[in-house]
Amino acid sequence: MTMDFNERPSLLLADDDVTFCQVLSRALEKRGYAVTVAHSVELALPLVTANPPEFAIVDLKMTGVSGLVLIQALHDTDAATRIVVLTGYASIATAVEAIKLGATQYLSKPANADEIVNAFGHSANAGLALNAQPSSVSRLEWEHIQRVLQENQGNISATARALNMHRRTLQRKLGKSPLL
Protein backbone atom coordinates (compact mmCIF):
# COMPACT_ATOMS: atom_id res chain seq x y z
CA MET A 1 0.00 0.00 0.00
CA THR A 2 1.49 3.35 -1.04
CA MET A 3 0.71 6.68 0.57
CA ASP A 4 -0.98 9.44 -1.40
CA PHE A 5 1.42 12.32 -2.24
CA ASN A 6 -0.62 14.67 0.00
CA GLU A 7 -0.36 12.29 2.98
CA ARG A 8 3.44 12.17 2.85
CA PRO A 9 5.53 14.57 4.96
CA SER A 10 6.42 17.61 2.85
CA LEU A 11 10.09 18.28 2.14
CA LEU A 12 11.71 21.24 0.37
CA LEU A 13 15.03 20.51 -1.34
CA ALA A 14 16.89 23.75 -2.15
CA ASP A 15 20.15 23.22 -4.05
CA ASP A 16 21.48 24.66 -7.31
CA ASP A 17 23.06 21.34 -8.41
CA VAL A 18 20.36 19.96 -10.73
CA THR A 19 21.78 16.42 -10.96
CA PHE A 20 22.22 16.17 -7.19
CA CYS A 21 18.61 17.31 -6.71
CA GLN A 22 17.27 14.72 -9.15
CA VAL A 23 19.10 11.85 -7.46
CA LEU A 24 18.37 12.99 -3.90
CA SER A 25 14.71 13.79 -4.54
CA ARG A 26 14.13 10.30 -6.00
CA ALA A 27 15.86 8.71 -2.99
CA LEU A 28 13.81 10.79 -0.54
CA GLU A 29 10.54 10.04 -2.35
CA LYS A 30 11.34 6.32 -1.99
CA ARG A 31 11.70 6.97 1.75
CA GLY A 32 8.18 8.44 1.94
CA TYR A 33 8.64 12.21 1.50
CA ALA A 34 6.68 14.50 -0.82
CA VAL A 35 9.64 16.42 -2.31
CA THR A 36 9.52 19.87 -3.85
CA VAL A 37 12.72 21.13 -5.48
CA ALA A 38 13.96 24.72 -5.86
CA HIS A 39 17.30 25.56 -7.48
CA SER A 40 17.74 28.93 -5.76
CA VAL A 41 16.66 30.81 -2.66
CA GLU A 42 14.64 33.16 -4.86
CA LEU A 43 12.63 30.20 -6.23
CA ALA A 44 12.27 28.58 -2.80
CA LEU A 45 10.93 31.60 -0.86
CA PRO A 46 7.49 31.70 -2.58
CA LEU A 47 7.14 27.94 -2.03
CA VAL A 48 7.85 28.39 1.69
CA THR A 49 5.29 31.18 1.97
CA ALA A 50 2.59 29.29 0.03
CA ASN A 51 3.06 25.93 1.77
CA PRO A 52 5.61 25.71 4.62
CA PRO A 53 7.30 22.29 4.50
CA GLU A 54 7.68 19.95 7.46
CA PHE A 55 11.28 19.24 6.42
CA ALA A 56 13.87 21.17 4.40
CA ILE A 57 17.30 20.51 2.96
CA VAL A 58 19.17 23.73 2.19
CA ASP A 59 22.49 24.20 0.42
CA LEU A 60 24.30 27.27 1.78
CA LYS A 61 26.18 28.16 -1.41
CA MET A 62 23.71 28.66 -4.25
CA THR A 63 23.65 31.04 -7.16
CA GLY A 64 22.22 34.31 -5.90
CA VAL A 65 21.26 34.77 -2.27
CA SER A 66 22.84 32.62 0.49
CA GLY A 67 20.97 29.64 1.87
CA LEU A 68 21.10 31.36 5.28
CA VAL A 69 18.32 33.68 4.04
CA LEU A 70 16.15 30.65 3.27
CA ILE A 71 16.88 29.08 6.67
CA GLN A 72 15.72 32.29 8.36
CA ALA A 73 12.55 32.40 6.21
CA LEU A 74 11.76 28.74 6.91
CA HIS A 75 12.21 29.23 10.65
CA ASP A 76 10.17 32.47 10.67
CA THR A 77 7.33 30.82 8.72
CA ASP A 78 7.19 27.64 10.84
CA ALA A 79 9.61 27.14 13.73
CA ALA A 80 8.78 23.40 13.75
CA THR A 81 10.29 22.86 10.29
CA ARG A 82 13.24 20.44 10.55
CA ILE A 83 16.07 21.97 8.48
CA VAL A 84 19.22 20.14 7.43
CA VAL A 85 21.94 22.33 5.96
CA LEU A 86 24.24 20.89 3.30
CA THR A 87 27.41 22.53 2.13
CA GLY A 88 30.65 21.72 0.39
CA TYR A 89 32.29 24.60 2.29
CA ALA A 90 31.95 23.46 5.88
CA SER A 91 33.20 25.72 8.64
CA ILE A 92 32.34 26.17 12.28
CA ALA A 93 31.32 29.78 11.66
CA THR A 94 28.69 28.90 9.05
CA ALA A 95 27.48 25.91 11.08
CA VAL A 96 26.93 28.08 14.15
CA GLU A 97 25.19 30.76 12.07
CA ALA A 98 22.90 28.18 10.42
CA ILE A 99 21.99 26.64 13.80
CA LYS A 100 21.32 30.10 15.29
CA LEU A 101 18.94 30.83 12.41
CA GLY A 102 16.97 27.65 13.05
CA ALA A 103 18.69 24.74 11.28
CA THR A 104 18.31 21.34 12.92
CA GLN A 105 21.56 19.84 11.66
CA TYR A 106 24.55 20.71 9.49
CA LEU A 107 26.13 18.18 7.09
CA SER A 108 29.07 18.44 4.72
CA LYS A 109 28.65 17.31 1.13
CA PRO A 110 28.59 14.66 -0.09
CA ALA A 111 25.78 13.35 2.10
CA ASN A 112 23.46 10.52 1.16
CA ALA A 113 19.71 10.26 1.73
CA ASP A 114 20.09 8.02 4.81
CA GLU A 115 22.46 10.50 6.51
CA ILE A 116 20.05 13.34 5.78
CA VAL A 117 16.99 11.47 7.07
CA ASN A 118 18.94 10.55 10.22
CA ALA A 119 19.93 14.21 10.65
CA PHE A 120 16.26 15.25 10.78
CA GLY A 121 15.96 13.24 14.01
CA HIS A 122 18.88 14.88 15.82
CA SER A 123 18.81 18.04 17.89
CA ALA A 124 20.77 21.08 16.79
CA ASN A 125 23.39 20.66 19.51
CA ALA A 126 24.06 16.98 18.77
CA GLY A 127 26.24 17.81 15.77
CA LEU A 128 28.21 20.46 17.58
CA ALA A 129 29.91 18.35 20.20
CA LEU A 130 33.11 19.80 21.55
CA ASN A 131 36.28 18.35 20.13
CA ALA A 132 38.78 17.17 22.73
CA GLN A 133 41.66 18.10 20.43
CA PRO A 134 41.88 21.84 19.66
CA SER A 135 41.84 23.05 16.07
CA SER A 136 45.13 23.74 14.34
CA VAL A 137 46.18 27.27 13.45
CA SER A 138 45.62 26.44 9.76
CA ARG A 139 42.07 25.31 10.51
CA LEU A 140 41.34 28.44 12.56
CA GLU A 141 42.68 30.60 9.71
CA TRP A 142 40.46 28.75 7.23
CA GLU A 143 37.38 29.28 9.41
CA HIS A 144 38.18 32.97 9.88
CA ILE A 145 38.54 33.43 6.12
CA GLN A 146 35.21 31.62 5.57
CA ARG A 147 33.48 33.85 8.13
CA VAL A 148 34.81 37.05 6.53
CA LEU A 149 33.92 35.72 3.06
CA GLN A 150 30.37 35.08 4.28
CA GLU A 151 30.16 38.60 5.74
CA ASN A 152 31.13 39.94 2.30
CA GLN A 153 28.50 37.80 0.51
CA GLY A 154 31.18 35.75 -1.26
CA ASN A 155 32.96 38.77 -2.77
CA ILE A 156 36.64 37.76 -3.03
CA SER A 157 37.97 41.29 -3.56
CA ALA A 158 36.05 42.75 -0.60
CA THR A 159 37.12 39.81 1.58
CA ALA A 160 40.77 40.27 0.59
CA ARG A 161 40.56 43.97 1.52
CA ALA A 162 38.90 43.14 4.87
CA LEU A 163 41.65 40.61 5.63
CA ASN A 164 44.38 42.99 4.43
CA MET A 165 45.51 40.28 2.02
CA HIS A 166 46.27 40.21 -1.70
CA ARG A 167 43.34 38.84 -3.72
CA ARG A 168 45.46 36.11 -5.36
CA THR A 169 46.78 34.98 -1.99
CA LEU A 170 43.21 34.71 -0.74
CA GLN A 171 42.16 32.74 -3.82
CA ARG A 172 45.08 30.35 -3.28
CA LYS A 173 44.08 29.83 0.37
CA LEU A 174 40.46 29.25 -0.62
CA GLY A 175 41.55 26.63 -3.15
CA LYS A 176 43.21 24.55 -0.43
CA SER A 177 41.28 22.10 1.74
CA PRO A 178 40.95 23.05 5.39
CA LEU A 179 43.30 21.18 7.69
CA LEU A 180 41.97 19.52 10.84
User: How far is Cα 36 from Cα 69, in angstroms, rounded to an integer?
Assistant: 18
Cβ-count burial 165-175 (b if 16+ within 10 Å, e if not): eeeeebeebee
pLDDT band at residue 112, thresholds of 50, 70 and 90? confident
In percent, the amount of the chain with pLDDT more than 70 equals 83
What does the pLDDT look like over 54-86, one tens digit per residue? 999 999 888 888 888 999 999 999 989 999 998
Q: CATH homologous superfamily of domain 137-175?
A: Homeodomain-like (1.10.10.60)
SS3 57: strand
Domain 5-128 architecture: 3-Layer(aba) Sandwich (3.40)
Q: What is the pLDDT of residues 23-64, one digit of tens each?
A: 999 999 999 999 999 999 999 999 999 999 999 999 988 888
Confidence tier at 10 by pLDDT (50, 70, 90): very high
| pLDDT tens digits for range 125-139 | 444 343 444 456 676
Q: Where are the domains of the chain?
A: 5-128, 137-175
Q: Which residue has the higher pLDDT, 35 or 120?
A: 35
Q: pLDDT higher for 163 or 110?
A: 163
What was the pLDDT predicted at 179?
A: 53
Torsions phi, psi of 87, nearest 5?
Answer: -155, 150
Give every CB contact of residue 152 below 8 A, 6+ residues apart in sequence: 158, 159, 162
Question: At residue 87, does pLDDT exceed 90?
Answer: no
**pTM of the predicted model as reported, rounded to 2 decimal places:** 0.66
pLDDT at 171: 87
